[in-house]
Amino acid sequence: MSEHFSSTLHTGSDHSGQVDAVVVGAGFAGLYMLYKLRLLGLRVQVFEANADVGGTWYANRYPGLRCDAESVEYSYSWSEDLQQDWCWSERFATQPEILSYIRHVAERFDLRRHIQFDTRVSSAVFDEARGLWQVRTDQGNAISARYFIMASGCLSSARLPSFEGLETFEGDCYHTVDWPKAGVDFRGKRVGIIGTGSTGVQLIPVAAQQAEHLYVFQRTPAYVVPARNAPLEADYVSRIKNDYVAIRAVARQQGLGLYPRPTESAVEVSPETREQTFERQWSVGGPQFMFTYKDMLTNKEANQYAVDFLHRKIRSIVTRPEVADELCSHDYPVGAKRICVGTDYYETYNRDNVSLVNVRKSPIERIVPKGIRTRDGDYALDAIVFATGYDAMTGALLDVDIRGLGGRRLADKWAAGPQNYLGVSVSEFPNFFMITGPGSPSVFSNVVLSIEQHVDWVSDCLQYMQEKGWSRVAVKEQAVLDWVEHVNQVANSTLIPQANSWYVGANIPGKPRVFMPYVGGVGPFRKKCDAEAESGYASFEFSAV
Ligand code: NAP
């Protein structure tokens, strides 16, 4: 074991001293990373900006929020006892249930004592001479660490567009990412919701039941499939639990780490078969609608069949034809923005107290004291909700002033896009790791499964270093260049980059348009990561200082 590694467990409470590793974030990624580092005997300090564990599942509390991946899959697989003991109550878990699961994990594995809450890491600077990261926080901590690990989440840095006049609004403003813990009462209020991505789609039907009148400000219509959420039946759960190890093993080799890959092509079946199959998937519900045919994300014609089917569904549900028309999207392939999963989403537009405002046709000009002004008129409101998403994938990473060799800022190095290797390592930034960083399956997969894969890979790499007596690791530049090219090639072989989505950073003015997630599938990605380890980490350079 290297001298830099402590063999004794450390509580990490020495906030102004030195630890082996600083981890940023105490969501799914940070907690598992902490657990694994502790198994290696490392002294770990976790900093978490929120007041408790949970990450994005702590901050997001808007009504209607539930996961759009199935509970039995969107959960840790690394503890057989945990997955046997925990009982999910519904097919798609609510935010409170997911948060109580994460809290349970923190307590069960005694993780809290390594975490300092209400603390935002402000900077991390690599001290070349000492081979240590100097980490500072907004609470005045100054701590050095051999390893600096960002487990800060892909969707955690909220985005509030700069609407002119926002400060003049006399009503209440909310961002879904920072929802009041005490909840919000919309009864008797005129409410405006801006944004119809996954978040807006979940919030809108619930808010409509409360508000006196709800105005939905839609710029781009989402494609929404019904969740068909339901309580989990005991027989189903016990079948899963009896077979959990095998089910997880299969998921690790699947495309998204969730559903079996389909084998049929949408363009090779008869129109009747296609319609029946789409109809069957629609009645099953959930995001696996995108897994009806193998070529839905690679073949325009196949994709268009799915779009046409969804448009027919919208028109059959929404009673006012002019509203149904506005809810049909025509400018991007389905799945190129993440498909949304909703409950009574389209049905909500049949309510008398709901109005759809097309802000593509009539853009929001400014916020005024009494509401929202669009080009075609004013909407009087008591409350505005921003469901406007995130600075995804790179936002939380670049919120921290991270500086590598020669004081180079990560923000400068990534000025043209997040160049890295396997979504985990950046050249010129030794001993720095990202969990589910850009360039990895991350958001384009069951993210909990991808977190586990990345955390296991990082901890295996650190164990390898322990065994060899090395204390510094840095990826080679060529490996980064090759990986970035591969990520782009794979993305460009699909229809996914064709939308102006957060996958390409299009929702953030000035952000370089670069496709960020790896869409080659979790199975192939895992193989590449494993091959790297088996090669003795040939793409990395190690040293003892
Ligand atoms: P999002 O997908 O980025 O959607 C943001 C919405 O705000 C879009 O409709 C966008 O319109 C609109 N918008 C942004 N700026 C605007 C402006 N200036 N004027 C008018 N409209 C504006 O964000 P999100 O809905 O929070 O979802 C982000 C991701 O989080 C999802 O894709 C999903 O991966 C994850 N998520 C998951 C769950 C779940 O598991 N159930 C729930 C929520 C979120 P444009 O499309 O025109 O830009």
Average pLDDT over residues 81-87: 98
Residue 311's CB is within 10 A of a number of other CB atoms, namely 18
Residue 75 pLDDT more than 90? yes
**Alpha carbon of 198 to ligand 1 centroid (Å):** 6
Q: Which of 154, 156, 200 is CA-nearest to residue 354?
A: 200
Residue 404, pLDDT > 60, answer: yes
pLDDT band at 1 (very low <50, low <70, confident <90, very high): very low
Closest CA to 339 of 279, 274, 290: 290
pLDDT tens by residue, 429-438: 999 999 999 9
CB under 8 A, 24+ apart: contacts of 488-496: 488/515, 490/518, 490/519, 490/520, 491/515, 491/519, 493/298, 494/297, 494/298, 494/519, 495/297, 495/298, 495/299, 495/300, 495/303, 495/333, 495/335, 495/336, 496/297, 496/333, 496/335, 496/336
pLDDT digits (tens, 9 = 90+) for 297-306: 999 999 999 9
Q: 14: pLDDT confidence band, cut at 50, 70 and 90?
A: very low
∠ CA 202-57-150, nearest 5°, is 130
**Dist. CA 197 → ligand 1 center (Å):** 4
End-to-end CA distance of the chain: 15
pLDDT exceeds 50 at position 9 = no
**Phi/psi at 45 (5° precision):** -120, 125
Q: Which atom of ligand 1 is nearest to the CA of 222?
A: 9
| pLDDT of residue 7 exceeding 50 | no
Ligand 1 atom nearest to 506, measured from its CA? 48
Residue 43 predicted with pLDDT over 90: yes
In short, whether 204's Cβ falls inside 6 Å of ligand 1 is no
Which atom of ligand 1 lies nearest, measured to the CA of 196? 9
In ligand 1, the atom with minimum distance to the C-alpha of 198 is 25
Ligand 1 neighbour 73 (Cβ under 6 A): no
Q: What pLDDT does residue 376 have?
A: 94
Residue among 410, 335, 370 nearest 123 (CA): 410
Give the mean model confidence (pLDDT) for residues 481-498: 96
Ligand 1 neighbourhood includes 74 CB (under 6 angstroms) = no
**pLDDT one-digit tens code per residue, 92-140:** 999 999 999 999 999 999 999 999 999 999 999 999 999 999 999 999 9
Single out the residue of 130, 158, 128, 122 nearest to residue 47, CA to CA.
122
What confidence category does residue 257 fall into, taking pLDDT thresholds of 50, 70 and 90? low
CA 164 – ligand 1 centroid, Å: 20
Probe residue for ligand 1, chosen from 66, 68, 73, 219 as the CB with the greatest number of ligand atoms within 8 Å: 219
What is the per-residue pLDDT for 259?
Answer: 66
From 507, 511, 516, 519, the mutation candidate for ligand 1 (largest count of ligand atoms within 8 A of CB) is: 507
Q: Which helix (H) or strand (E) holds 473?
A: strand 472-475
pLDDT, tens only, 182-212: 999 999 999 999 999 999 999 999 999 999 9
Q: Are 368 and 375 contacting, i.e. CB atoms less than 8 angstroms apart? A: no
**Distance from Cα 287 to the centre of ligand 1, integer Å:** 16
Please give the number of the atom of ligand 1 that sits closest to the Cα of 197: 25
C-alpha–C-alpha distance, residues 384 and 361, integer Å: 20
- Which residue's alpha carbon is at the smallest distance from atom 40 of ligand 1? 67
Quote the mean pLDDT of the chain: 95
Distance CA 159, CA 56 (A): 13
Is the separation of the CB atoms in 40 and 5 below 8 Å? yes
In whole angstroms, give the CA distance from residue 73 to residue 312.
31
Mean pLDDT computed over 13-38: 90
Give the residue whose CA is nearest to atom 3 of ligand 1: 389
61 pocket-lining for ligand 1 (C-beta < 6 Å): no
Q: Give residue 69's pLDDT.
A: 94
Does residue 295 surpass a pLDDT of 70?
Answer: yes
- Domains annotated on the chain, with CATH: 17-158+391-543 (3.50.50.60)
Q: Closest ligand 1 atom, CA of 389? A: 23
Q: Is the CB of 68 under 6 A from ligand 1?
A: yes
Question: Residue 51 has what pLDDT?
Answer: 97
What torsion, rounded to 10 degrees, do the Cα atoms 187, 188, 192, 196 define?
40
Q: How far apart are CA 354 and CA 25, in angstroms?
A: 38
Ligand 1 mutation target, pool 175, 203, 388, 501, most atoms within 8 A of CB: 388
Whether residue 180 has pLDDT greater than 70: yes
Q: Is the pLDDT of residue 2 over 50?
A: no
58-71 pLDDT, tens digit each: 999 999 999 999 99
198 close to ligand 1 (CB < 6 Angstrom): yes
Which residue owns the Cα nearest ligand 1 atom 6? 195
How far away, in angstroms, is 106 Cα from ligand 1 center? 29
Q: Could you tell me what percent of the chain has a pLDDT over 70?
A: 96
Q: Write out pLDDT tens, residues 133-148.
A: 999 999 999 999 999 9
DSSP 3-state of 22: strand
Query: What is residue 198's predicted lDDT score, i.e. its pLDDT?
Result: 98
Residue 8 has pLDDT above 80, yes or no: no
Judge contact between 539 and 475, C-beta under 8 A.
yes
CB contact at 8 A, 384 and 194: yes
Q: Is the pLDDT of residue 309 over 50?
A: yes
Reported as a single tens digit per residue, the pLDDT across 267-292 is 999 999 999 999 999 999 999 999 99
**What confidence score (pLDDT) does residue 262 get?**
87
- Is the C-beta atom of 194 inside 6 A of ligand 1? yes
| % pLDDT > 90, the chain | 95
Q: Using 50, 70 and 90 to split pLDDT, how confident is the model at 258?
A: low
Does the C-beta of 114 come closer than 6 Å to ligand 1?
A: no
pLDDT of residue 149: 99
Q: Rounded to the nearest 5 degrees, what angle is found at the Cα of 326, between the Cα atoms of 323 and 327?
A: 90
Q: Is the CB of 115 under 6 A from ligand 1?
A: no
- Which protein residue's CA is at the shortest distance from atom 46 of ligand 1? 220
pLDDT of residue 16: 60
Ligand 1 lined by 224 (C-beta under 6 Å): no
Question: Which pLDDT belongs to residue 545?
Answer: 77
360: left (phi over 0), alpha (psi -120 to 50) or beta: alpha
Cα 200 to averaged position of ligand 1 atoms, centre (Å) = 7
Cα distances (Å, whole numbers) of residue 389 to 5, 6, 176, 220, 367: 40, 41, 8, 13, 19
Q: 3-state DSSP call for residue 218? A: strand
Contact 158, 175 (CB under 8 A): yes
Q: Does the beta carbon of 60 sit less than 6 angstroms from any atom of ligand 1?
A: no
Helix ranges restricted to H, 161-270: 198-210, 234-242, 244-251
Q: Please give the structure tokens belonging to residue 101.
A: 């699961």
pLDDT tens profile 313-359: 999 999 999 999 999 999 999 999 999 999 999 999 999 999 999 99
